Chains A and B, each alone.
Chain A
């Protein structure tokens, strides 16, 4: 009886095992795995199809085969950290937004690609600016290539279009927090049933720090400075933070901000689009907003475009130190930035099937498909590809236009004076952990206005004191001063 059960179970399991499509690989070529985070809905069938198309192309051109590993973005870091313990990973995306590059390097996860890059084609070398190379380097060694993206962004707010039209608000003329405040109070009075202001995403009031403070000096993430200065402070003691939070605290007290802000699990933009909220903050960039969010209007610029260190290359592509084929992996990595056909296939899939080109040379969903139903899911995930400029497909004239626009943008962005400074915290990881916890504890609460900064500042200071914050900060400041003097 039991034997029959077991046999049945095993057969069933084996049948299911064969359901997954076998990876296509040619015996004499090296197969590399490429790990990309995604938030899109995609089917494995479509990915396999694109993989086949890519392999046909790069097999001939580079004598390589690739195995695409898409992982849900929420699981991505955990997945690659595990996978990088083995030789499963060749080329992978990794996030460095919170200063993690130093951890990846300290843990020996990433391959040092300095020499490969030095010997690479001129085309690849010219793809990256000096800032971008610094952003993917530590102690003058290079560990990855940054995702091509514009530097920083300005801060704006997104408003619900219907209300804007109903109340005849001139959105573009709103360029200061005071003007925004005035509009918010008017709207709150007229539409008391909807949230006047919601956090940009979940419990984060804003992703954009440009109107607040200069975050993350160099590659550390505990030291801040007010814009234009090089005096390091704790986040909670910067003037920019205090000023921003004075507004939000007032709004919160007056019921303009959702009182659930701290346990919110929604995105601001969807709430504004759906009409359940009027306003959320936004970090604008070269792309026009209206195409991204329907039913919204963007205000004027609340804070100018500035770039902090982690804005440049907060998402990078590199090679796992445990890769069995580092040389081939570098070829593949380079191709992601320099080979238009490969990059386009990777980002959008197969033309006609997963995307079509409109007359402006931009990729669009094929007729009848949306972000939810398009099976390869490329677009919705363009945020995570190596080269965001593939948005207008590379071979078109529009790509050159976009490239020019971004270069213009980058030239005008104010880059933090401390850019390029690096303070090694690898022997202070206990402090970094303790600090991260402390910041988590207060940051969102204060920024959403749920708590008044003045009420908790003494407590924060004493907690900072107790984890040795000010000692580390003084050391960092000394190193920064030295760096600036030498610069």
Chain B
């Protein structure tokens, strides 16, 4: 008790707060924005537990207990969409991280300033393109009558009807769109690593691989942990555009394209049920929150310095 009081006095205390008024004043616009844009609507999460009635509004509607959550679990699609959402996200995190790190290291090991710059410019292009446009590009490749792949390889594959290809297509498209950005993030970290460490390694006679293994990768660790923790907070979400627009909402692919967001969208298109959509969002947030807290706890145990909070 005494210790807590002492701590408050050291870090907090009104006097201390007042002394930093300028800093707080700087934060005021941001705080106000967060309160308005993010926190005020959170009160509306209560809709997830209500049978929303437009006339009665959020507060006047009847309580519905947990029944809004039932549709996420009550049907045979429940397992499917949770499996897809989690499965794709895990694969995306792993492939995305590994590939991005590989490219970052290659960029770092390359000689020649100009080519390096050129590579960096071009690998970011997919990141600039919105998912809608990506869906056009994918169609240009995969259309079975006029697609580039079938036309140039002379094959006759009906891509939009064959579910087994799509897990790979999603991984490739996701990787294509995001690797440039992630590579640059890791590359920025790599070039920030103290060059003295490399010089020391060279003096010790380390080979290129040894340098990468003993200097570069450990240097990347904090970034990897931060990026992964942030990604874990989103594993119950999915990029709606990727799973809905890119496969052109083709029915035969539903088993591999139905993620939570897609299912909720389609269900709500039909029912315009505010309570259910809030319930789905709430479920995704809570799961993400618990996962991040858990992951962060683990990181805290293993590598205290790199935990998020």
Interface residues of chain A, those whose CB is within 8 Å of chain B, are 77, 81, 84-85, 98, 100, 103-104, 107-109, 203, 258-260, 262-263, 265, 320-322, 429-430, 432-434, 436-437, 440-445, 450-451, 463, 466-467
Q: Is B53 an interface residue (CB 8 A)?
A: yes
Q: Do B266 and A437 touch across chains, with their CB atoms under 8 A apart?
A: yes
Chain A residue at minimal CB-CB distance from B250 = A262
Q: Do B273 and A445 touch across chains, with their CB atoms under 8 A apart?
A: no
Q: Do B272 and A450 touch across chains, with their CB atoms under 8 A apart?
A: no
Q: Is B145 an interface residue (CB 8 A)?
A: yes
Nearest Cβ distance between residue B253 and chain A, in whole angstroms? 9
Most buried by A among B144, B250, B270: B270
For chain B, the count of residues having a C-beta within 8 Å of the partner chain is 39
CA distance A434 to B142 in the complex (A): 29
Selected from A100, A104, A434, the residue in CB contact (under 8 A) with B77 is A434
Selected from A260, A434, A437, the residue in CB contact (under 8 A) with B160 is A260
Most buried by B among A103, A203, A260, A467: A260
Chain A residue at minimal CB-CB distance from B142 = A263
Q: Is B238 an interface residue (CB 8 A)?
A: no
Q: Do A262 and B251 touch across chains, with their CB atoms under 8 A apart?
A: yes
Given contacts A108-B53, A467-B76, contact A436 B70 (CB under 8 A): no
Given contacts A259-B144, A322-B55, contact A442 B75 (CB under 8 A): no
Q: Do B71 and A430 touch across chains, with their CB atoms under 8 A apart?
A: yes
Q: Do B76 and A463 touch across chains, with their CB atoms under 8 A apart?
A: yes
CA distance A192 to B23 in the complex (A): 74
CA distance A104 to B273 in the complex (A): 9
Given contacts A262-B160, A263-B160, A450-B161, contact A429 B271 (CB under 8 A): yes
Interface residues of chain B, those whose CB is within 8 Å of chain A, are 52-57, 70-71, 74-77, 139, 142-146, 158, 160-161, 247-252, 254, 258, 263, 266-267, 269-274, 276
Pairs A–B under 8 Å by Cβ, sample size 15: A77-B269, A81-B272, A98-B270, A100-B272, A107-B272, A107-B273, A262-B160, A263-B143, A429-B271, A432-B270, A436-B267, A437-B266, A440-B251, A441-B254, A443-B251
Residues in B whose Cβ lies below 8 Å from that of A263? 139, 142-143, 160, 247-248, 250
Q: Do A262 and B270 touch across chains, with their CB atoms under 8 A apart?
A: no
Q: Do A467 and B75 touch across chains, with their CB atoms under 8 A apart?
A: yes
Residues in B whose Cβ lies below 8 Å from that of A443? 251
Q: Do A108 and B254 touch across chains, with their CB atoms under 8 A apart?
A: no
Given contacts A84-B54, A263-B139, contact A434 B75 (CB under 8 A): yes
Residues in B whose Cβ lies below 8 Å from that of A108? 53-56
Residues in A whose Cβ lies below 8 Å from that of B160? 260, 262-263
Residues in A whose Cβ lies below 8 Å from that of B70? 430
CA distance A260 to B250 in the complex (A): 10
Chain B residue at minimal CB-CB distance from A111 = B55
Residues in A whose Cβ lies below 8 Å from that of B258? 437
Residues in B whose Cβ lies below 8 Å from that of A441? 251-252, 254
